[in-house]
Amino acid sequence: MASLIPGKAAGETSVGGNWLFGLIYWKNGDKDKAEYSFDETRIISNRLIDLGRAYSPIEIYGDLAAVYAFRGVKDKAYEYLRIADQNPRPRLWLVTWIKNDPSFDSIRNEPEFQKILRNMEAKYQAEHERVRKWLEENGKL
């Protein structure tokens, strides 16, 4: 089956954000296309990790966590969230995405999810403060 991403040529493969198309298909009642998008994300992401060619190591683990969380496979979702949380300086977009994405609704209120999210937020805030201080010290702010 060709990629389900609108505008992609037959035979081209893209994984970044493909799970999001799965979520959209699911919400619109097309479960087959949704499952295909989720499976495609999982298979291609794992292959890229195995080859050491992940398009963005932190993002790829977040994508996998989103797929597994949406599917209710909590142990795998947490496995990939913990890997994503290993980033010592998470970007705001990552923290915001994980905090708000509906794919994580199945685990959002669980203590482990909240712990990972708090940890990411704390690391982001610490880096934000470090950069602010540097900017002040160097007359840039």
Backbone torsion region of residue 61, taken as left when φ is above 0, otherwise alpha when ψ lies between -120 and 50, otherwise beta: alpha
* Residue-wise pLDDT tens digits, 5-45: 444 444 444 556 678 899 999 999 999 999 999 999 899 88
The whole-model pTM stands at 0.79
Burial of 18 (0-12, 13-18, 19+ CB in 10 A): buried
Each residue's pLDDT expressed in tens, for the chain with a length of 141 residues: 344 444 444 444 455 667 889 999 999 999 999 999 999 989 988 888 888 776 666 788 988 999 999 999 999 999 999 999 998 888 898 899 999 999 999 999 999 999 999 999 999 999 999 999 999 999 998
| C-beta atoms surrounding 72 within 10 Å | 9
